[in-house]
Amino acid sequence: MSDQDRIEIHPEPVYGAGIWHFATYVDRYATDGYGEPRTVLDAIKLAGAVDDLAVVDLNWPFPPGNVSTAEVKDALAEEGLRAIAVTPEFYTGKFAKGGFTNPDPAVRRQAIELVAGSAEVGRELGVDYVKLWPGQDGYDYPFQADYTDLWDKSVDAVRELALAFPDLRFAIEYKPREPRNRMVFSSMARTLLAIEDMAVDNVGVLLDFGHSLYGGETPAEAARMAIARNRLFAIDVNDNFRGWDDDMVVGSVHLLETFEFFFALRDAGWDGVWQLDQFPFREDSVEAATAGIRTMRAFHHALDHLDRDALAAAQSAQDALRAQRIAKRALYRALAESESV
């Protein structure tokens, strides 16, 4: 066999990152923070220092809260970056018992209005989608919640937003848990069912590789399912130890499954942004992003060299050893080249 015969050169994907990749963090122990606080403008400057990073997803209100859209636009322009998305922060302390599902109707309304505000900013920035991550929408204890009520409120809120902004797209990022012990939008399939219940066209899913992985899904399989329903609006990648959303650097643990995920995207003809959602608590954020992109680029090259016919034949026989070998052959060569630079 000669791999040379089968090369398909695809254009390089666009690489992106959540702007929080370049922030610093707190947790319940290091309440004073892992590093000094950074404004969105600081973070944009760092993002600009990462080669090949082209787009960013921006939290809104822009941290620490008093930065204008104009300032953000200027900062992006200066760094040659584009805003792919805006992420409204309706998961702060005020929304501790829920954003879309808060027991207090006034707080629920504030959550919806916050998202609406972000949507308007998103329009101004020309984003591809508004990201919805209802992190506080869920529950913590057995018997605490009326599950039907949580579901209905979640569906209703997103539908309302989708109808209010028909020119925009909304991408729901599901996650099994954290910060709530259990979340409403907890898996790909549940989120797709909820989107059906919304009965609108402009709502889809953001598949975060790590969320999918520690939620017990096979991310490549979840991606196929969403693409088949035209609902995969965006993806985020990172890695973890399969028990929590560790947001580690791409490929640092689950190399083969991450490669399989990108294979699924390309094989299905999905052409969105390859985007990082890493949290470098104790690492240099520019280096962490660079490392993540280096690995994604190796995946990209590996896919050019992957013997797809042979893989399809192995898969149609469910021949795990042969399929893995075909995938590894392409992957390891590309990784070796990538790391030898």
By CB under 8 A, what part of segment 187-226 binds a second copy? 187, 189-190, 192-193, 215-216, 218, 220-221, 224-225
Does position 134 interact with a second copy (CB under 8 A)? The reply is: no
* Spatial distance between the Cα atoms of 150 and 193, rounded to a whole number of angstroms: 14
One-letter-per-residue 3-state SS of 129-160? EEEECCCCCEECCCCCCCHHHHHHHHHHHHHH
Backbone angles phi, psi at 313, to 5 degrees: -65, -45
Binding-site member from 51, 228, 271, 309 for a second copy (CB under 8 A): 228
* Spatial distance between the Cα atoms of 304 and 298, rounded to a whole number of angstroms: 10
Binding mask 9-28 for a second copy (x = CB under 8 A): ----------------xxxx
Q: Indicate the residue among 124 and 152 with the shorter CB distance to a second copy.
A: 152
Q: Indicate the residue among 76 and 225 with the shorter CB distance to a second copy.
A: 225
By CB under 8 A, what part of segment 255-284 binds a second copy? 255-257, 260, 263-264, 279, 281-284
The least distance separating a second copy from the CB of residue 300, rounded to whole angstroms, comes to 16
Contact 10, 49 (CB under 8 A): no
Q: Indicate the residue among 123 and 182 with the shorter CB distance to a second copy.
A: 182
Contact 56, 16 (CB under 8 A): yes
Q: Smallest Cα–Cα separation from 237: which of 202, 203, 272, 268?
A: 272
Q: Indicate the residue among 78 and 146 with the shorter CB distance to a second copy.
A: 146
Binding mask 103-122 for a second copy (x = CB under 8 A): x-------------------
Binding-site member from 6, 45, 297, 328 for a second copy (CB under 8 A): 328
Binding-site member from 8, 12, 33, 126 for a second copy (CB under 8 A): 33
**Which three-class secondary structure state does DSSP give residue 325?**
helix
Tokens of 225: 């399912």
Binding mask 84-103 for a second copy (x = CB under 8 A): -------xxxxxxxx----x
Does position 291 interact with a second copy (CB under 8 A)? The reply is: yes
Alpha helices in 215-284 (DSSP H): 219-228, 255-267
Among the residue ranges 77-85, 153-161, 163-171, 235-243, the one whose residues contact a second copy (CB under 8 A): 235-243
Dihedral over alpha carbons 22, 26, 32, 38 (to 10 degrees): 20
By CB under 8 A, what part of segment 45-84 binds a second copy? none
- What is the gyration radius of the CA atoms in the chain, in angstroms? 20
